[in-house]
Structure 1
Amino acid sequence: MKRVPEDESQNVADYPNNNTIFTVWKFKENTEIKPAFERICALIANLNHSFIIRTPGGRSSCVMGIGYDAWIKLSLPTPLPKELKNFEPVAGSKHTAVATPGDLHFHLRGTDMAVCFDMLTAITEVLYPVADSLEEVHGFRYWDGRSILGFVDGTENPVGNERQGFAVVDDEDPLYKGGSYLFVQKYLHDMQAWTKLSTEAQEKVIGRYKLSDIEMSDDVKPENSHSFLANLEDEDGNDLKIVRDNMPFGNPSRREFGTYFIAYANTFSTTHKMLERMFIGVPSGNHDRILDFSTAHTGSLFFAPSMNILNDYTAEPAS
């Protein structure tokens, strides 16, 4: 078995690519799942190594997250990651961050959709007998990194070495160094209502100017704007960040337009605090205005273990 450093993370800190597939799987009841999981652990390393070699620039990756229930069913290490649990709804006076099931989550990135397609085909061959696919979302890069709402997405993301620092567990939980908390939500947008707003009104919802992507000054930005409520600081004024790899998706002929929100973080509490600010509001009732046009249809928490932990559960050489 190939040895890797104890704290080598999965490729959670990579930048979003042009094409992405997100999938959520749930194990079937009364099914022997450990052999399939062991094969998946081997497959992840194999897919990552293979497509780094096969694709121009090597910008392809497969990341697996594991949910709380699956962690228990698979008898993975104990104690569990400190903040891994089943996500519970965050309910505000008007909008709710719903909670939905999921045992495994796969985040597949590639410069070409063929890469993502082939990776998912290989994963499905292993999982299909023992698990059901609950979600499969095909994301794509929209113009210059914009969401379908027309604004650049992820401007506040950490860059460079900061991405690893904010996305990957370190001394917060020494047993799980190199791991990452992975939270996902599938949002659908009411584009008919959104496009009826003037550009100025849309900018006040987001808290940024649409064309330039420049953030509004504090004396102009509404306190229920997305950028005001989604950005966090600790008690000392230091930024609390997550690494967002959001991607647009859609089926125009069905009038379906969405954003798949995906966040990697070294603690889930940071992401949860952001959700509370958005859905409950600051003060309570002053919810994020973007939620009047964007509805969360899913919400699931996973943990993406280090490659060393995945190697421990690999049933065959991961090379």
Structure 2
Amino acid sequence: MPESVSRPDNGRTAPAAYGAPVSPQGVDAPLRRSAVFLTLVVADGDEAMATVREVLADLGGLVKTVGFRDLANPVSCTVGIGSRIWTDLTGQERPAELHPFREIAGAAHTAVSTPGDLLFHIWSDRQDLCFELERLLLDALGTAVTTADEVSGFRYFDTRDLLGFVDGTANPVGRDLPESTLVGDEDPRFAGGSYVVVQKYLHSLTAWQALTTEQQEQIIGRTKADGVELDDAAEGQKAHKTLATITDEDGEHDILRDNMPFGRPGHGEFGTYFIGYSRRLWVIERMLERMFVGDPPGLHDRLLDFSTPATGTTFFVPPTTVLDALDAG
């Protein structure tokens, strides 16, 4: 998955004040211990669209309903809207870069494209609060939607993924955070919004654990114990962290990763849910091209030999003004 390698509180702004639920659309809300990633497909017809519009317009109310059950542990929810329903739902033209996830087929591995009209990224330090907010959302949406994918994530030890590496160290911090994640003057209609790409990666842990620690570190491009960057390879296959770093004449382009581990050991399922927020969708797309096609082409990211994407979907997280306007629609 695009480099997910942490920082205190994900390198973000401070949490909401004690006793205050976090408002929806807070892309920079602090990383929590539990999360739900819910991808839905909206049914055809005006009635279904009207139901979705009503629920999204009141998303803040649902967050408050759940959040006030434990004021010391905020719950938050960010909603992303896919390109297929964007215009019908909002009555507006799509954001400049919004389009369906584009399948990327390399010689050895493929980044698949899967359905999804709505993404709900729910997170809290309490798993039961995530569960409750998801339950209320699905109850409110009813038959207007079907579930395309549902993943419950958790923080694993000191923010490591199930491959054993610290997750999130490359995230932007401070003033770089909004610069990297929030749309600006380049698309003023949607300034303050963010593009988000999600992929569910399944790991072959047995094969991964058969490697030596040194082999794993060379694939990731960081030390396993403390996440220190290793020198880039002079030639041949590049490390994951190198392929997932995008630079051009304007410098390095960061994204915000909220990745979380998930799994069901009894079913042999172990994975990482990649979720990347970006001001520019093309940055994430370039990362994936470098990973799956290779740079140069043919030299793919070796992490993909052990991690297979089962989903791939793109959304736009609108500013709250867009959600508020749905109430008048």
TM-score, shorter chain, exceeding 0.5: yes
Give 1:171 shift.
1.2
Match of 1:66 in 2: 81
Query: Residue deviations 1:40-74, cap 9 Å, x none?
Result: 22332113444555445554210100001111332
Residue 227 of structure 2 corresponds to residue 250 of structure 1: no
Change in Cα spacing, 1:219 to 1:258, as seen in structure 2 (3 Å) is closer
**Identical-pair percentage:** 42
Distance in 2 (CA, whole Å) between partners of 1:65 and 1:83 is: 14
For residues 133-282 of structure 1, the aligned pairs below 5 Å read 133-218=147-232, 223-236=237-250, 238-282=251-295
Tell me how far apart the structure 2 counterparts of residues 170 and 287 of structure 1 sit (CA, whole Å): 33
- Answer whether contact 1:222 1:228 (CA < 8 A) is retained: no
- CA deviations on 1:206-262 (whole Å, 9 max, x unpaired) are 0111001111123689742111101111224x2101100000000001110001100
For structure 1, the 5+ residue unaligned runs are 1-7
* Number of aligned residues: 307
Match of 1:284 in 2: 297
Q: Which residue of 2 aligns with 1:3?
A: none
Task: Label 1:221 to 1:113 Cα distance change in 2 as closer, same or farther (>3 A).
Answer: farther
The answer to which of 161-170 and 8-17 deviates more is 8-17
- Determine the structure 1 residue equivalent to 2:34: 19
Task: Name the CA distance, whole Å, in 2 between partners of 1:283 and 1:112.
Answer: 44
Measure, in 2, the Cα distance between the counterparts of 1:91 and 1:13: 32
Distance 1:183 1:125 in 2: 25
Q: Secondary structure at the match of 1:224?
A: coil
Partner amino acid, structure 2, of 1:256: E
Matches within 5 A, 1:61-140: 61-78=76-93, 80-140=94-154
Farther off after superposition, 125-134 or 241-250: 125-134
* Structure-1 separation of matches of 2:152 and 2:223: 28
Distance 2:84 2:306 in 1: 32
- Pick one of 301, 307, 312 that aligns with 2:314: 301
- Cα contact 1:19–1:139 (8 A) shared by 2: yes
TM-score by length of 1: 0.91
Q: Which runs of 5+ in 2 are unaligned?
A: 1-22
Residue pair 2:166, 2:226 contacting (<8 A) in 1 also: no
209 and 25 in structure 1: CA distance in 2 versus 1, 3 angstrom threshold: same
Kindly provide the amino acid, as one letter, of the partner of residue 321 in structure 2: N
1:69 and 1:32 map into 2 onto residues whose CA distance is: 17
1:171-226 superposed Cα distances (whole Å, 9 cap, x missing partner): 12111011110110000001111010011111111011100111112368974211
Structure ranking higher on relative contact order (CA contacts 8 Å, 6+ apart): 1
Equivalent residues of 1:90, 1:98 under 8 A apart: yes
Query: 1:209 is aligned with what amino acid?
Result: T
Instruction: Give yes or no for the alignment of 1:39 onto 2:54.
Output: yes
Quick one: structure 1 residues 9 and 19, their matched pair in 2 at CA, closer, same or farther if it must change by over 3 Å? closer
Task: Give the alignment's Cα RMSD to 1 decimal.
Answer: 2.0
SS in 2 for 1:74: helix
SS of alignment partner, residue 259 of structure 1: strand
What TM-score comes out, normalization by structure 2 length? 0.88
Alpha-carbon contact 2:233-2:239 (below 8 Å) kept: no
Q: Distance in 1 between matches of 2:87 and 2:321?
A: 19
Letter in 2 for 1:47: L
**Aligned partners of 1:47 and 1:62 also within 8 Å:** no
SS in 2 for 1:138: strand
Q: Is 2:57–2:325's contact at 8 Å kept on the other side of the alignment?
A: no
In structure 2, the CA distance between the partners of 1:9 and 1:113, relative to structure 1 (3 Å rule), is closer
